[in-house]
Amino acid sequence: MSQTIYFIPGTMCDQHLWLPVWQLLKEQCHEDHQLISLVIPSTGCMDEVVSALSDQIVEHKAILVGFSLGGYIASAIALKLENKLKHLLIVSNFPKNLPVAEIKQRKRTIDCISQRGYCGIPDKRVDNLLHPEIKQLNPQVYQDIKQVIVAMDRKLGVDVLLHQLKVSMHRPNLLPCLTRLSLPITLLVGDTDNLVDLASLKQEQHGANNVSLKEITHTGHMLPLESPQALATMLLYLLAS
């Protein structure tokens, strides 16, 4: 039976983030499932963004996948649409409030852009999003992934970046609420993800009956691009279960 999977990308990402995973799903799955990449609205507060995207999830018992910022938004949507969903898959995200240091860094970034403008994602930032050894061990894969990241960033532009930084800066910890749902939830995180505190995540999800955590080796933050087979394998399992 055909099922629907909704995908919510992260900061400065669009449907190109999912293309390697979609290609693998089409090659490895015998059924033609509906794969829909949602677009994060570029205006409104977090509640308005969550409401707008919730309204687009019309299929019953769909799988909802969110990456990074999209993982937080997907978590908030799951709290609204629990009974409508089959599974929540959070990728490269810990759906909780940002640490003070990260909030300060975001404010510095916003101030810097306001003063100097935006010339695109810096190489140092790209490297920080990926496994620390990918450039040395697999330079071609590194260049291919970097090209996708830079192209998505260029296409979306500075206004989208500023909105996404601001809208997600002050946000509550959703994990305690998520653990009280009957909805099954899986967290998929790279073992060298600089943006997710794996130790804290393991501690907070421990004992939650509906939440499972899967660590993907040799992977940084950009899991859908770095380890598309791991994400495709998880989705194939969820589709079959």
- As given in the structure block, the two tokens for residue 140 are 């071609």
DSSP state of 197: -
The predicted pLDDT at position 170 comes to 87
Alpha helices in 29-99 (DSSP H): 46-54, 69-81
- As given in the structure block, the two tokens for residue 234 are 């998880």
CA–chain centroid gap for 81, Å, is: 18
- Give dist(CA 94, CA 68) in Å, integer: 8
Structural domain boundaries in the chain: 4-99+164-240
Rg of the chain taking only CA atoms, in angstroms: 17
The predicted pLDDT at position 206 comes to 80
pLDDT tens digits for the chain (241 residues)?
789 999 999 999 999 999 999 999 999 998 889 999 999 999 999 999 999 999 999 999 999 999 999 999 999 999 999 889 999 999 999 999 988 888 898 899 999 999 999 999 999 999 999 999 999 999 999 999 999 999 999 999 999 999 999 999 989 999 999 999 999 999 999 999 999 998 888 888 888 899 999 999 999 999 999 999 999 999 999 999 8
pTM: 0.96
The predicted pLDDT at position 54 comes to 97
- As given in the structure block, the two tokens for residue 82 are 């629990």
Write the CATH number of the domain with boundaries 4-99+164-240: 3.40.50.1820
The predicted pLDDT at position 100 comes to 87
Burial 143-171 (b: 16+ CB within 10 A, else e): eebbebbeebbeebeeebbbbbbebbeeb
DSSP string covering 122-147: -HHHHHHHS-TTHHHH-HHHHHHHHH
- Give dist(CA 76, CA 36) in Å, integer: 18
